[in-house]
Amino acid sequence: MPRDASSRRQFVKAAMNAPYLEREEEHNLAVAWRNDDDQEALHRLVSSHMRLVIAIAARFRHFGLPMSDLIQEGHVGLLEAAARFEPERLVRFSTYATWWIRASIQDHILRNWSIVRGGTSSTQKALFFNLRRLRAKLASGTDPMPESKMYKEIASAVGVSVADVALMDSRLSGPDTSLNAPVAETDGASSDRQDFLVCDKPLQDETVGTMIDTQRRKKWLSDALTVLSERELRIVRERRLSDEGATLESLGSKLGISKERVRQIESRALEKLRSALMSTHPEAIA
């Protein structure tokens, strides 16, 4: 699709003046393209239906995308229809191609209308492309309809939830806004929208510092554990260093001792660990 205005007008004029095809001629061209890969037949078949592409594209111009882009995407859909068309079914090519043209244009709009991707399910697409029409139809009555009731009516008609309707309505109510767009000017310096975004995550230097400290403390603990006996190490690991700490009673059953004896060994082991850490890394005990 040409970009400059003069070329676009010539393109549209040529498309609108292209001759219509009779049913038999259209069938013969489709057969020649499908069976013999006749490029000339494809060209004539597609050229004669470009007015259909323009007419369908015009229905979607209110979404704010360039008309030339819509026609170009519709042309892609038309070529896809030509590639898939089965002339032996005796269906007019325009009837078959309409669905492919519309689907191609709608997919282009969904990809480019907003930087935020919307739903891609069939019901979400139906909501996106029918919300404004349904809203205008419901608002055309003599008595104004409450928004909550309007949302319910639209949700019922399209087959989605009321929350989906409210979310889509808010998306369609305004265009995307850049985070770099200025919103205020203080002391001669302008502020961007992103300056007002609040992030609860710690700063990068804090995150890195915490990671380094954690690795260092793990190393200190690993070294200190070497002072424990095999039984002390097992009790400390199962009681203190596992996600689900074992009970004194369960450990006593495994080791064949009383739970009170397990508690005594654990207490002695923790004291040995503390002494080992204090002797090598006093800062570890805080």
Tell me: pLDDT of 71 over 70: yes
Cα 214 to Cα 115, 218, 220, 270, distances in angstroms: 39, 6, 10, 20
What are the extents of the domains in the chain?
Answer: 5-112, 116-198, 204-284
Which residue did the predictor score with more confidence, 220 or 29? Answer: 29
CATH match of 204-284 with 1.10.10.10: yes
| Helical spans, DSSP H, in the chain | 5-17, 23-36, 39-47, 50-58, 67-84, 93-112, 122-139, 147-158, 162-172, 204-224, 230-240, 248-255, 259-280
pLDDT band at 72 (very low <50, low <70, confident <90, very high): very high
User: CB-based burial of residue 82 (10 Å sphere; 0-12 exposed, 13-18 middle, 19+ buried)?
Assistant: buried
Among 140-149, 158-167, 275-284, name the one with the lowest average pLDDT: 140-149
pLDDT band at 118 (very low <50, low <70, confident <90, very high): low
Topology of domain 5-112, per CATH? Four Helix Bundle (Hemerythrin (Met), subunit A) (1.20.120)
pTM here is 0.53
Residue pair 54/102 in contact by the 8 Å Cβ criterion:
no
CA distance 82 to 97: 7
- Secondary structure letter of residue 226 according to DSSP: G
- Note the residue count of the chain: 286
Would you give the distance in Å from CA 286 to the centre of its chain? 46
pLDDT in tens, 146-186: 777 888 888 888 888 888 888 777 766 666 666 777 776 66
Checking 182-189 for CB contacts under 8 A at 24+ apart, the result is: none
Q: What is the per-residue burial (b if ≥16 Cβ within 10 Å, else e) of 220-243?
A: beeebbeebeeebebbbebbeeee
pLDDT for the residue 52: 93
- The CA-CA-CA angle for residues 88, 90, 96, to 5°, reads 100
